[in-house]
């Protein structure tokens, strides 16, 4: 009798627990805005929340500066009862690891980093796949054979993007050159604008960015008629800021990842493996083609995309040569994830040298 | 390509230098009256946010500039009351204004952060813009660029050719003597501070409405402080403010162009970025060293409170 | 009817103590009004901003942690401000001190020597002093205004940190991210209570406050500097040269800021990155003023400003307000203080006729 009551209590107790919505925390490095890196994360969060309606509630803190203060914010989400916390910027890596060590019952997920642990996993997107495809479009449509890239910091993620874009462009236009300007910030509209203008002044007619504001595409849109320049957006589809000049873009869609990950934790599967998803998992997409993109180009890109999803084509398939001529990936092979994660060189076709400071 | 590139660089330099000229000239007038207002960054930020809000809701860019000007003046009023009427330490007041202004702008501007507007259109000056190289660089610019040149002429005329300008300079040199003659020192200083605020507000408006058509916390990115440095760099002379602003602006854009060209430079980018600040220190040293030189140029009573009837 | 400021026959010592309290009170009132205007309950806003941060032990330790660099910097600045030496470059001196201390840590990644931490503290102080010596020298030798030179050097210091983090000091195993290796355990300041982050730097700060009090109030040089600040001629008469005051003021300010920088990188950060200081050097000036340039006042003022920082974060998390609200409060506090300070030396009198 007592055992039956106990069992009833346990069952109803777990049912109650299962029914109380689980708190999921998100830490953003910049304001959400309406385009850009954080905006895409927030779209993913919203999609997850809709799909798992009733089972989770989310708590977000935006514009949290990387540095010593981030630890306090992350910790406060944990003490607030969040069972999962997603920290979306590289600079949160050490603070996340520290808090994870203090809260073994909370699962932590860190984006774009490299430290993980028992209750901490990393996640990242294969942005370079979308870059390769954008590069093909650029190579097919450029008139000057020069592309311009506005970069933030010379870290592997950005180098991968530049190199993949270059590989894609040169796969259809062996004469193509990519010029790079570093603005040393993820978000600095003034500098991004000046960088764009300086690239245009060098003759680049295909411009893209690995920074976070909409100014690059807006500047290209402004100069589009006079200079016949086109752009590719990053993270978000920015065509509403550049309706005539955006040819395509490299879009990140975190919704599948967030939904699946949260479901897994709810099902008791724990923090799971480190995730690095791309085209085939639906995390990376390209923005809709501009009307100006001819059918022949669209078909080519779609074919390559299908091949990439099937694993037949890789953005860094051999031969891949560094700027100085060394063979990084011989013909017939494909760059390993490990090597990808440490790219700190330009491939052939990129003009200029990687900044030392 | 060579000359074309030069045009680009000059164009970018002019754009980058314009907010510095406007804010710098405003600060120059303030300092000529003997008041050191370190709150430029805060005034520019509020001017920017106000201008952006008005530009977004009314699509009237002229109104937006007026709004920026107004916001700058309101902020400078805070400083003026604290430093001129309550006679508090000017350095502290300026600092408070810059911290408060930047914070308030971030605060008020929060709902505006996701919005984008179309940037103001440049206006070409006919004939002049046909001049090779220089034409497109200087005469196909935003209206506020032309305003900055007009402002320079107006400020120079005001300070050195008008009676009120003479009085203002006298107030800056020796407020006690000016007071003895019968000039209303505090009132003139108020006007000077308000003018400085108005200009800072317009400079802020330029940043968000014409330069990069969006608002985000921290947009001004230190340009207010650079404008203050600029006044010193220019040894408190209006024309030199323009030259200095283009030099500073040029430094800021030059490294972009160098990178874009693919030229191999072994100098770290940070060193190039540091040049304007080091240059300012150097100029400050050079002009201060010669005591008569500095007496000639910097307002003698700069930063010191004036106590009437004491 | 006209109100006029009339100088008091002698400064009111009552107002001197009352003024910061009035300023804080006005700030709280304005804050609650601000919350109301933004559509949030003023009471909830007040609770979340001012009470949440200190509701548990971790919160208090975070407050102390945040207050430590403010205390160190403000103390250094106050020595200078008393002597009319305006060091606006504390932020830059903090960064250079952090670099110097970090450099020592990175140079000796394996050592177990007990001299490592003291060496880092000394390096931090020396680094900050060297950076402050530049404006001091330029002022004494060339008469260049130290406000502007020290300010320009802040930018140069920030760029130096950026260069080192991106370049020569970058962690080779750090995937090319702009940061150095993490410092080894012996190079980190010991934490005072496990599980919290407040560390031994707090003792340094309190020790410095005590030393500062002794110096200002019990030493002859402190007296000289106080007098020199108020009237240069009188100071010279007391045997103190203006030049010495400038050097003292700048060096002490720089040294303390340098130690503050060390305490950040050998404390909560644990490495050199581009995010060493969220503007401590500037906030410290507010702390110095609100603290009336006295060590005891600075102690309380740094706690208050630390609370403003942490409270801003809380309000951001729970009320969705931008964290810039901290700066709004800081600015308001300083303005109110400057306003109420007037009444130390002046009082309002009603005049029958305009004079």
Average pLDDT for C227-247 = 69
In a domain, A174, yes or no: yes
Residues spanned by the domain of A218? 128-251+285-351
- Do A212 and A338 lie in one domain? The reply is yes
Q: Would an 8 Å CB–CB cutoff place C133 in contact with chain B?
A: no
- Do A322 and A293 lie in one domain? The reply is yes
- Do A176 and A65 lie in one domain? The reply is no
Q: Which two tokens stand for residue B144?
A: 């506020």
Place of tokens 């002229």: B62
- Do A50 and A94 lie in one domain? The reply is yes
**pLDDT at residue C228, as a whole number:** 64
- Do A158 and A307 lie in one domain? The reply is yes
| Total tally of structural domains belonging to chain A | 2
**pLDDT at residue A184 greater than cutoff 90:** no
**pLDDT at residue B247, as a whole number:** 87
**Separation CA B228–CA B98 (nearest Å):** 12
End-to-end CA distance of chain A: 74
Higher confidence at residue C240 or residue A345? A345
Nearest CA to CA, how far is B226 from chain C (Å)? 9
**pLDDT at residue B1, as a whole number:** 42
Average pLDDT for A328-335 = 92
Q: Would an 8 Å CB–CB cutoff place A65 in contact with chain C?
A: yes
**Separation CA A73–CA A86 (nearest Å):** 12
Higher confidence at residue A189 or residue B147? B147
In a domain, A43, yes or no: yes
**pLDDT at residue C353, as a whole number:** 63
Q: Residue B7's closest chain A neighbor by CA?
A: A201
Q: Would an 8 Å CB–CB cutoff place C175 in contact with chain B?
A: no
**pLDDT at residue B258, as a whole number:** 80
The model's confidence at residue A159, banded by pLDDT at 50, 70 and 90, is very high
Q: Is A353 helix (H, G, I), strand (E, B) or coil?
A: coil
Please give the biggest Cα pair distance in chain C.
78
pLDDT tens-place string over residues A26-49: 999 888 878 889 999 999 999 999
Chain B, 161 to 190: residues with Cβ < 8 Å from chain A are none
Nearest CA to CA, how far is C198 from chain B (Å)? 27
C167 neighbourhood in chain A, CB within 8 Å: 356-357
Q: Which two tokens stand for residue C326?
A: 């901290």
Q: Would an 8 Å CB–CB cutoff place A33 in contact with chain C?
A: no
The top-level CATH class assigned to B2-113+124-297 is mainly alpha
- Do A80 and A215 lie in one domain? The reply is no
- Do A44 and A148 lie in one domain? The reply is no
pLDDT averaged over every residue in chain B: 87
What's the predicted TM-score (pTM) here? Answer: 0.85
C143 neighbourhood in chain B, CB within 8 Å: 288-289, 291, 294
**Separation CA A144–CA B1 (nearest Å):** 13
Do the Cβ atoms of A342 and C276 come within 8 Å?
no
- Within 10 angstroms of residue C328's Cβ, the number of other Cβ atoms is 27
Average pLDDT for B231-242 = 89
User: How much of chain B exceeds pLDDT 90, in percent?
Assistant: 45
Chain B, 287 to 306: residues with Cβ < 8 Å from chain C are 288-289, 291, 294, 303
**pLDDT at residue C173 greater than cutoff 90:** no
**pLDDT at residue B294 greater than cutoff 60:** no
pLDDT tens-place string over residues C205-214: 999 999 888 8
Q: Would an 8 Å CB–CB cutoff place C62 in contact with chain A?
A: yes
Average pLDDT for C328-353 = 83
Domain boundary among the residues A108, A125, A142 is at A125
Mean pLDDT check: name the lowest of A275-289, B33-47, C240-254. Answer: C240-254
Strand locations in A253-338 (E): 275-277, 284-286, 320-321, 327-329
**Separation CA B273–CA B264 (nearest Å):** 17
The model's confidence at residue A17, banded by pLDDT at 50, 70 and 90, is low
- Do A119 and A176 lie in one domain? The reply is no
pLDDT tens-place string over residues C78-105: 988 888 888 999 999 999 999 999 999 9
Higher confidence at residue C268 or residue A3? C268
The model's confidence at residue B310, banded by pLDDT at 50, 70 and 90, is very low
Nearest CA to CA, how far is B176 from chain A (Å)? 44
pLDDT tens-place string over residues B72-97: 999 999 999 999 988 888 888 998 89
pLDDT tens-place string over residues B187-222: 999 999 999 999 999 999 999 988 888 888 778 877
Q: Is A179 helix (H, G, I), strand (E, B) or coil?
A: strand
**pLDDT at residue C229 greater than cutoff 80:** no
- Do A120 and A132 lie in one domain? The reply is no
| DSSP character at residue A267 | T
- Do A104 and A158 lie in one domain? The reply is no
pLDDT tens-place string over residues A101-142: 999 999 999 998 889 999 999 999 999 999 999 999 999 999
Buried b (16+ CB within 10 A) or exposed e, B85-113: ebbbbbbbbbbbbbbbbbbbbbbbbbebb
Structural domains of chain C, with CATH: 41-320 (1.10.3470)
**pLDDT at residue B221, as a whole number:** 76
**pLDDT at residue A10, as a whole number:** 61
User: How much of chain A exceeds pLDDT 70, in percent?
Assistant: 94
Domain ranges of chain B: 2-113+124-297
Do the Cβ atoms of C144 and B288 come within 8 Å?
yes
Q: Would an 8 Å CB–CB cutoff place B91 in contact with chain C?
A: yes
A71 neighbourhood in chain C, CB within 8 Å: 197, 268
- Within 10 angstroms of residue C141's Cβ, the number of other Cβ atoms is 12
What secondary structure, in 3-state letters, does chain B show? CHHHHHHHHHHHHHHHHHHHHHHHHHHHHHHHCCCCCCCHHHHHHHHHHHHHHHHHHHCCHHHHHHHHHHHHHHHHHHHHHHHHHCCCCHHHHHHHHHHHHHHHHHHHCHHHCCCECCCCCCEECCCHHHCCCHHHHHHEECHHHHHHHHHHHHHHHHHHHCHHHHHHHHHHHCHHHHHHHCCCHHHHHHHHHHHHHHHHHHHHHHHHHHHCCECCCCCCCCHHHHHHHHHHHCCCCHHHHHHHHHHHHHHHHHHHHHHHHCCCCCCCHHHHHHHHHHHHHHHHHHHHHCHHHHHHHCCCCCCCCCCCCC
**pLDDT at residue A13, as a whole number:** 53
In a domain, A11, yes or no: no
Nearest CA to B208 among B67, B8, B99? B67
**Separation CA A248–CA A207 (nearest Å):** 11
C297 Cβ neighbours under 8 A, 6+ residues apart: C20, C290, C291
Q: Would an 8 Å CB–CB cutoff place A67 in contact with chain B?
A: no
The model's confidence at residue A165, banded by pLDDT at 50, 70 and 90, is very high
Q: Is A348 exposed, middle or buried (0-12, 13-18, 19+ CB in 10 A)?
A: middle
Q: Would an 8 Å CB–CB cutoff place C2 in contact with chain A?
A: no
Chain A, 19 to 48: residues with Cβ < 8 Å from chain B are 31-35
**Separation CA C13–CA C16 (nearest Å):** 5
Q: Would an 8 Å CB–CB cutoff place C273 in contact with chain A?
A: yes
Q: What is the CATH number of the domain that holds A77?
A: 3.40.50.2300
Q: Is C57 exposed, middle or buried (0-12, 13-18, 19+ CB in 10 A)?
A: exposed
Q: Which of C58, C269, C310 sits opposite A67 (nearest CB)?
A: C269
Q: Residue C273's closest chain A neighbor by CA?
A: A67
- Do A201 and A179 lie in one domain? The reply is yes
Domain boundary among the residues A125, A153, A174 is at A125
**pLDDT at residue C354 greater than cutoff 80:** no
Q: Would an 8 Å CB–CB cutoff place B3 in contact with chain C?
A: no
- Do A31 and A167 lie in one domain? The reply is no
The model's confidence at residue B280, banded by pLDDT at 50, 70 and 90, is confident
Domain boundary among the residues A125, A140, A167 is at A125
**pLDDT at residue C235, as a whole number:** 57
**pLDDT at residue C10, as a whole number:** 80
pLDDT tens-place string over residues C136-145: 999 888 888 8
Do the Cβ atoms of C328 and B78 come within 8 Å?
no
In a domain, A302, yes or no: yes
């Amino acid at each position: 009798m007592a055992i039956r009551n106990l069992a009833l209590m346990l069952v109803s107790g777990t049912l109650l627990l299962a029914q109380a919505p689980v708190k999921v925390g998100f830490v953003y490095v910049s304001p959400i805005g309406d385009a850009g890196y954080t905006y895409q994360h927030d779209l993913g969060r919203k999609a997850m929340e809709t799909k798992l309606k009733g089972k989770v509630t989310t708590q977000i803190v935006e514009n949290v500066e990387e540095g010593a203060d981030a630890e306090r914010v992350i910790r406060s989400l944990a003490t607030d009862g969040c069972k999962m916390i997603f920290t979306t910027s590289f600079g949160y890596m050490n603070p996340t690891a520290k808090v994870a060590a203090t809260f073994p019952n909370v699962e932590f997920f860190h984006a774009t980093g490299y430290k993980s642990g028992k209750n901490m996993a990393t996640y990242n997107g294969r942005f370079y796949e979308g870059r390769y495809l954008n590069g093909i479009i650029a190579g097919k449509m450029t008139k000057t054979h020069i592309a311009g890239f506005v970069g933030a910091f010379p870290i592997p993620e950005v180098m991968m993007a530049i190199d993949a874009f270059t590989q894609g462009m040169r796969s259809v236009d062996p004469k193509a050159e990519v010029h790079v300007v570093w603005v040393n910030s993820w978000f600095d509209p003034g500098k991004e604008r000046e960088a764009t203008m300086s690239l245009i002044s060098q003759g680049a007619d295909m411009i893209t960015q690995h920074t976070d504001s909409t100014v690059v595409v807006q500047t290209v849109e402004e100069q589009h008629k006079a200079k016949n320049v086109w752009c590719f957006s990053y993270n978000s589809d920015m065509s509403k800021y550049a309706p005539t000049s955006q040819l395509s873009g490299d879009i990140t869609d975190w919704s599948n990842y967030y939904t699946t990950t949260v479901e897994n934790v709810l099902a008791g599967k724990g923090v799971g493996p480190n995730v690095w998803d791309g085209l085939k998992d639906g995390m990376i997409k390209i923005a809709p083609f501009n009307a100006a993109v001819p059918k022949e180009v669209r078909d080519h890109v779609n074919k390559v995309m299908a091949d990439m999803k099937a694993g037949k084509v890789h953005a860094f398939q051999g031969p891949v040569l560094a700027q100085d001529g060394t063979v990084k990936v011989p013909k017939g092979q494909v760059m390993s994830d490990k090597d990808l994660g440490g790219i700190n060189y330009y491939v052939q076709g990129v003009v200029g040298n990687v900044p030392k400071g | 390509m060579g000359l074309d590139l030069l045009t680009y660089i000059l164009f970018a330099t002019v754009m980058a230098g314009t907010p510095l000229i406007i804010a710098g000239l405003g600060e120059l007038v303030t300092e000529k009256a003997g008041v050191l207002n370190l709150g430029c960054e805060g005034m520019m930020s509020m001017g920017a946010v106000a201008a952006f809000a008005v530009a977004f809701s009314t699509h009237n860019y002229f109104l937006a500039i007026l709004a920026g000007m107004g916001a700058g003046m309101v902020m400078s009023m805070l400083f003026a009351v604290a430093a001129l009427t309550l006679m508090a330490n000017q350095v502290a007041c300026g600092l408070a204004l810059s911290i408060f202004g930047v914070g308030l702008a971030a605060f008020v501007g929060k709902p505006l952060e996701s919005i984008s507007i179309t940037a103001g259109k440049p206006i070409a000056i006919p004939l002049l813009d046909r001049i090779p190289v220089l034409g497109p660089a200087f005469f196909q610019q935003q209206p506020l660029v032309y305003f900055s040149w007009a402002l320079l002429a107006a400020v120079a005329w005001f300070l050195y050719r008008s009676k009120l300008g003479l009085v203002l300079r006298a107030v800056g040199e020796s407020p006690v003597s000016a007071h003895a003659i019968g000039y209303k020192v505090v009132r003139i200083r108020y006007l000077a501070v308000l003018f400085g605020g108005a200009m800072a507000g317009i400079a802020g408006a330029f940043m968000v409405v014409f330069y990069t058509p969006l608002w985000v916390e921290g947009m001004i990115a230190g340009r207010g402080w650079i404008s203050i440095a600029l006044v010193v760099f220019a040894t408190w002379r209006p024309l030199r403010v323009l030259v200095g602003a283009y030099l500073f602006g040029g430094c800021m854009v030059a490294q972009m162009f160098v990178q874009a060209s693919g030229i191999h430079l072994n100098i770290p980018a940070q060193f190039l970025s540091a040049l304007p600040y080091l240059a300012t220190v150097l100029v400050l040293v050079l002009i201060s060293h010669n005591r008569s030189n500095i007496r000639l140029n910097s307002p003698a009573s700069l930063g010191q409170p004036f106590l009437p009837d004491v | 009817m006209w109100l006029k400021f009339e100088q008091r026959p002698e400064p009111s010592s009552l107002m001197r103590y009352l003024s910061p309290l009035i300023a804080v009170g006005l700030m709280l009132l304005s804050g609650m009004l601000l919350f109301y205007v933004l559509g949030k309950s003023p009471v909830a806003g007040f609770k979340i901003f001012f009470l949440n941060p200190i509701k548990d032990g971790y919160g208090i330790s975070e407050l102390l942690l945040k207050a430590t660099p403010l205390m160190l910097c403000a103390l250094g600045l106050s020595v200078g401000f008393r002597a009319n030496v305006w060091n606006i470059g504390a932020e830059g001196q903090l960064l250079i001190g952090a670099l110097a201390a970090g450099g020592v840590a990175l140079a000796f990644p394996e050592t177990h020597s007990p001299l490592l931490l003291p060496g880092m503290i000394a390096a931090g102080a020396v680094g900050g002093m060297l950076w402050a010596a530049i404006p001091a020298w330029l002022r004494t030798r060339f008469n260049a205004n130290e406000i502007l030179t020290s300010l320009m050097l802040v930018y140069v210091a920030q760029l130096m940190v950026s260069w080192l983090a991106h370049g020569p000091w970058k962690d080779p195993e750090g995937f090319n991210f702009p940061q150095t290796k993490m410092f080894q355990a012996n190079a980190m300041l010991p934490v005072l209570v496990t599980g919290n982050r407040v560390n031994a730097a707090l003792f340094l700060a309190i020790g410095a406050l005590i030393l500062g009090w002794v110096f200002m109030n019990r030493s002859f040089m402190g007296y000289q500097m106080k007098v020199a600040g108020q009237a240069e001629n009188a100071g010279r008469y007391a045997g103190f040269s203006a030049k010495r005051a400038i050097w003292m003021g700048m060096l002490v300010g720089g040294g303390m800021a340098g130690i503050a920088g060390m305490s950040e990188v050998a404390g909560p950060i644990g490495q050199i990155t581009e995010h060493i200081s969220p503007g401590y050097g500037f906030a410290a000036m507010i702390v110095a003023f609100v603290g009336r340039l006295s060590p005891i006042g600075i102690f309380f003022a740094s706690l208050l400003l630390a609370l403003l920082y942490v409270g801003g974060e809380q309000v951001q998390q729970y009320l969705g307000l931008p964290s810039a609200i901290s700066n709004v409060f800081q600015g308001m506090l300083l303005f109110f203080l400057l306003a109420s300070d007037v009444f130390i030396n002046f009082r309002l009198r009603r005049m029958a006729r305009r004079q």
